[in-house]
Chains A and B, each alone.
Chain A
């Protein structure tokens, strides 16, 4: 019979323990019973602040948090454990349930520390820990907004979490004041010099910093709050958030008689075992070697250790890397190793560039030969290279490492690191692990490495290192499009754009070899079309197109085609619906409503296509480009015109977007949607670019996808007006068209982008590459040059002549195409395959 592990707490660390055990316990020796205080499945607390972007709790939910389909895991949400009986080996829950255990794991986490300030329990005072906390903060903030002018908020605590809270409050439309007791922000991570720069950069973002002081009292005053600081300042406030550190939640353990540390935390040994051998403690509630770790990486390490121990292993805590790298309101801050030079004789090398707004410090051993730690503020690009070098001999003069030469760590590559060096500190993956996955495991790209080793799957800062390691291990990451072109698609795009080449023959003659194939021909045809080279069937272009583009319809399994007229935004008149119905009836076409809010007509033969389209075009329809690697549809909900919840005209915007970008050829298909309110009925976050209305404008999300690899789109800009929105979408799409690989959707393009979403935002919002005017101009060309492809065919006898089934018998239908009836419509009779294939 299986033994029972009871896990108390369902935060990130508790969840990791269950996952790790289930991954390793192939024999099914253990069943797991989880008790969670919160009523929702485990979510990403590290990303809590991003909840403000969407107010959608599901966006934060961890992968596999519900353990669907795993009958070895019983997840009890909203039922906290209230007592432990170590003699009987049972726990009792708030609902009165008594559950026996063989082994118990405490992952109760921590509670926010609220300093003893008078008035800290007044309404309007909050902590910053859970989704519910943020909902409560939002309620208060919204009430503040209904008052006069901009509301104000105080954040008590200027550490990592405090600054996160300040960002969230700013995003909610409040003016935040950060009050920090220490003389600088983020006192644990940065030194005085870094702190001074950080304060300057943060204050440029409308956050007021009060360092070296503290609040003594908070009072109610005519519906608002007044906070008095020790430096004499009085703040007029709408709400207060305490984020002044954490306290381990060890009350359960105390009551059960387990040993706890002097300053709190359940005391555990290096195997995470408490004073009771049947009980483990992991994460922020545990006290290991007198320390409580408030980061997720050490918590994950503890979870892995306990999973190993439960299954008979002997893993021990390897020590924690307290290195941190984050981007706060666009400001890079990184701190690693012995950042404060506490080691005896440690030397500091500082490079402070007040003009550029960067502060860089390395801490080295007294012989200047070993790197001990460092601090980077303003630009933390070198963090990925520098952090793994901690404790290792320096490859050169420390000053040279700091020189801001292109941000590549002064030329120090990953090749210089020893195998034990940790590349991914979030998931504790060493250089040796990654090299092995490449050499032995056969991982030959970053995506496979991520799946195989988990490296790069949390914060992503080590992804550039993974690419370097692939190269170091001799994996040639060929960017050649196919055997005819050594260039990548992006490179070919640039060649065509810069040289003005207009034909495939010219391009392959000058820059490729051979005659081309089914990979490079459609790719180049798409590039030529993106840059506007007339009709896609004009001249030689026709021979480059895949059959769908060649016949401007979608081939189906029996060799017939389907037809999709454009229905912008999914909005259609009854008269136009009747035209579609009549055409379908006359040609005997099977009809189906698509996921993109239009109508697909199936079963047309090549020679029927012109007749069908003649009638559609005459009735005012145009090509829907369902056959092209091009913009497909812009879905919409009904929006504020009809919906009692809608806050903007989503249909109107969807129609406008669809008409603006129709016919735009791109590396892969493009889908879009517009939702009229936060309920998101149009599913915009599953699209390549999705727009969601807010009361004050539009939020733009990019890189979403459904299908086999679903991905929620990321927020690129928020609450912008329509003019700005169109500008950013223009730039985003053109940047994608220029730089993506062949058949690479925006989701994988964004995932593979070095610097990720931040980089994308730098390029298309902040214009860091100075490209935006060019990208906008290119889109303007497209919009101006658009013409309906089907109307173009119907007007040209030469193009029309290609739509025949048989060259020697025009008008004769293909005798191999036959239909049967199913649910009242015609469907294809399945075709046999010839005997030659029967082996």
Chain B
């Protein structure tokens, strides 16, 4: 039997550190930047923080909302929208940003790393 790689859950911050319908950036030990968002229903999503169009590490500072029912963040640079669930750019589906598994346990946000 081959052992599957286990997901390691890393504590990021208390849920309360993110106001509803806003995002924050987190820095992982390997230097990766993750944008973590909390939506109106207290769902939490994590995407790569780099805006693939401008190259700036700013997605966490975008406005949250929905486009045709899809939860999105709009890049603060040039307003392209990214699906919070998949990382796919709604305006140009050939472009996407990485997504990260994320969960809330005891009001603390945990980020999954494999």
Contact = CB atoms under 8 A, between A and B. Distances in A.
A832 B26 contact: no
Given A807-B12, A814-B33, A837-B52, 7 more contacts: A521-B65, A547-B61, A806-B26, A807-B13, A807-B24, A807-B26, A808-B12
Contacts of B21: 515, 540, 543
Interface string A531-547: 00000000010111111
A814 B33 CA distance: 9
Interface of A: 483-484, 514-518, 520-522, 540, 542-547, 550-551, 555, 557-559, 802, 804-809, 812, 814-816, 830-834, 836-837, 839
Nearest to A814: B57
Contacts of A815: 27, 31
A428 B70 CA distance: 49
Given A555-B76, A555-B77, A517 B52 contact: no
Question: Secondary structure at chain A's binding surface: helix, strand, loop or mixed?
Answer: loop
B31 A517 contact: no
Contact of A547 (B20, B58, B81): B58
A807 B55 contact: no
Contacts of B72: 517
B114 interface: no
B61 A550 contact: yes
B53 A833 contact: yes
A518 B95 contact: no
Contacts of B97: 836
A517 B63 contact: yes
Nearest to B96: A836
B20 to A, nearest CB: 7
A280 to B, nearest CB: 53
Nearest to B22: A543
B66 interface: yes
A831 B56 contact: yes
Contacts of A550: 61
Interface in B37-94: 39-40, 50, 52-58, 61-69, 71-72, 74, 76-77, 79, 81, 94
Contacts of B58: 547, 555, 559
B52 A834 contact: yes
B12 A544 contact: no
Contacts of B20: 540, 543
B104 interface: no
Given A558-B56, A807-B36, A815-B31, A834 B50 contact: yes
Contacts of B33: 806, 814, 816
Nearest to B73: A518
B38 to A, nearest CB: 10
A806 B27 contact: yes
A521 B55 contact: no
A499 B90 CA distance: 35
Contacts, number: 115
A808 B26 contact: yes
A839 B92 CA distance: 12
B17 interface: yes
Contacts of B76: 546-547, 555
Contacts of A806: 24-27, 33
Nearest to B63: A518
A806 B97 CA distance: 19
Contacts of A834: 50, 52, 55
A510 to B, nearest CB: 16
B54 A557 contact: yes
A559 B56 contact: yes
Interface in B8-28: 12-13, 17-22, 24-27
A306 B88 CA distance: 58
A517 B63 CA distance: 7
A830 B54 CA distance: 10
A559 B61 CA distance: 10
B57 A816 contact: yes
A324 B43 CA distance: 65
5 contacts: A514-B69, A540-B20, A542-B19, A557-B54, A812-B27
A540 B20 CA distance: 8
Nearest to B21: A543
Contacts of B17: 807
A169 B62 CA distance: 58
Nearest to B28: A808
Contacts of A558: 56
Contacts of A831: 54-56
A518 B65 contact: yes
B47 to A, nearest CB: 12
Contacts of A557: 54, 56, 77
Given A483-B67, A806-B25, A807-B13, A543 B19 contact: yes
B88 to A, nearest CB: 11
B79 A518 contact: yes
Contact of B62 (A515, A547, A837): A547
Contact of A805 (B19, B25, B81): B25
Contacts of B79: 518
Contacts of B18: 807
Nearest to A550: B61
A788 B64 CA distance: 27
A517 B65 contact: yes
B57 A559 contact: yes
A748 to B, nearest CB: 20
A558 B66 CA distance: 26
A715 to B, nearest CB: 37
**5 tightest A-B contacts by CB?**
A831-B55, A517-B65, A518-B74, A547-B76, A559-B56
B25 A521 contact: no
A550 B76 CA distance: 11
A51 to B, nearest CB: 44
